[in-house]
Amino acid sequence: MSKTYGYVRVSSRDQNEERQLVVMKQLKVSPRNIYIDKESGKDFARPAYQRMLKKVRSNDLLYVKSIDRLGRNYTEILEQWRILTKVKKIDICVIDMPLLDTRRGKDLMGTFLADLVLQILSFVAENERNLIRQRQAEGIAAAKERGVKFGRPEDPLPENFFEVCRRWQSGEINKTEASNELHMPLSTFYYKVKKLEDCPEKWHEKMNI
């Protein structure tokens, strides 16, 4: 006996999947047959999706709210659609796009139209993802130009940092001894020195060169 499934995806854990769940409830999809991922749509390496893929059988029906909830990678959407419909032999209904309902129009013209719509919507989904990433990158770049700093602020230098550096440069102590005295990893010591050396005026002033 065939079963009905629903697949729900949001991009991050702070996004709400409630709207998609309401639609699944209206379609009378059993809650135990609804698979939810809170993952990016860049690929299909998602735990709930993979569990669902193993569960579905021939003649089952899968509901998804829109094609971008299935994924946002053009090539992989087409491949997963092929796996679901040709290998698993299930039906798929994309709720927001009636033409993407494999229960309808199984003749040549219906299949052609569905394939065409699928390719267009898959391209749009990936293109939108790329535009979002581009806007994010542009926003970050603009913020950096305004002096906005991202990430955790760096810890202040130890009070004896330049004194230890002078002793290290004079050969009085080696680099390991210098980092130990400053209570910082050797890689951090090198990073701090290199960053200061990239500002020669400040470095020379502090080192009394």
Concatenating the DSSP letter of every residue in the chain gives ---EEEEEEESSTTS--HHHHHHHHHTT--GGGEEEEES-SSSS--HHHHHHHHH--TT-EEEES-HHHH-S-HHHHHHHHHIIIIIS--EEEETT-TTSBTTS--SHHHHHHHHHHHHHHHHHHHHHHHHHHHHHHHHHHHHHHTT---SSPPPPPPTTHHHHHHHHHTTSS-HHHHHHHTTS-HHHHHHHHHHHHTSHHHHHHHHT-
**Are residues 124 and 91 in contact, defined by beta-carbon separation less than 8 angstroms?**
no
- 40 as an active site residue: the answer is no
Rounded to whole angstroms, the Cα distance separating 57 from 76 reads 21
From the list 11, 12, 58, 122, the catalytic residue is 11
The set of catalytic residues is 11
